[in-house]
Amino acid sequence: MRPEFVYNKIVEELMKNKSVAVATIISKEGSGPRDIGAQLVVTEDGVKYGTIGGGSLENIIYEEAVKALREGKPKLLKLALRRDNIPSDAIPTNQLCGGIVQVFINVIHPAPRIIIAGGGNVGKPIADIANVIGFRVVVMDEKEELANPLRYPYAEKTIVGKLPEEVGKLEFGKNDIFIIAYGEVETDYQVLKKLVEMKFPGHIWALCSRNRCSWMIKRLLDEGYDLKDFKGRLHMPAGLDIRSDTPEEIAVSILAEVICVRKQCNIPVNSMDISNILIK
């Protein structure tokens, strides 16, 4: 398989908002089926493109690539292509080529995407700042004047319509971030409910007061929704407690928390966040 075909597949998966693992032979001692630079690409769906040698060697690398995708972290492997004199730090492959290869498995993620429900006073600075710091941005609103390409020229997409219905038409990936910032109580609740029904795989932030957050979560629980899978992924009220006041400051507090959660930093998340308390 020609390299350009493999690279095109990588781009295709990233454009579909999916991560890929790319295994590359980076060193080789002695004999082996492929040379330095040979690559194998593995998608989130388990499909592989290219080849790195076939047989048990490729099977082992494929399984390790799948694990790397699941963990979201790269890894370095050393594999012995022989049945004796195997180095202590090498994985045996039961092959008879005789050499030793090192394979680097890199995990490539699509640029993180933020979907914002609500393009008004707070949604606008959230989108503006998110764009500046490198997020892909999608903005949704029920009014066209608040969600259009002129207002958000950098947006990947602007969507106008009934928000719960439009949310239901989207496809999501595990790297997606959803921010509910529309501001109308029932609409915000219905958007959150739709995300729960769709088993949204990423993190959700909801801009609301402590009382409204409690009401939304308790209503979901009373309606029979199991929120255990959302523990640690539902952030309500949204944002770090930095005494923010203006829409711009609120946007900074929310995106600071988004960055903190993504990087697993030690900055304490908002002490007002009650979602993890209410979700048992």
Domain extent, residue 47, equals 3-108
**Single-letter residue type at 154:** Y
| Last residue within a domain, chosen from 80, 108, 136 | 108
Task: Give yes or no for a contact between 228 and 258, defined as CB atoms under 8 angstroms apart.
Answer: no
Per-residue pLDDT, 271: 47
Same domain, 169 and 227: yes
pLDDT at 97 over 70: yes
pLDDT tens track for 5-21: 888 989 999 988 889 99
- Do 104 and 125 share a domain, yes or no? no
**Quick one: DSSP state of residue 202?**
S
Instruction: Give CA–CA dist 212/236, Å, rounded.
Output: 9
Q: What is the pLDDT of residues 134-164, one digit of tens each?
A: 999 999 999 999 999 999 999 999 999 999 9
Where among 88, 108, 128 does a domain terminate?
A: 108
pLDDT band, very low/low/confident/very high, at 266 (cuts 50, 70, 90): confident
Say how many domains are in the chain: 2
Does residue 158 share a domain with residue 95? no
pLDDT for res 277: 59
The residues near 145 (Cβ < 8 Å, ≥ 6 apart) are 151
- Residues 128-136 have a mean pLDDT of 96
Indicate if 166 and 47 belong to the same structural domain: no
Q: Which of 108, 128, 147 is the last residue of a domain?
A: 108
Report which listed range, 84-98, 119-133, 219-233, is most confident.
119-133
Is residue 146 within 8 Å of residue 119, measured between CB atoms?
yes
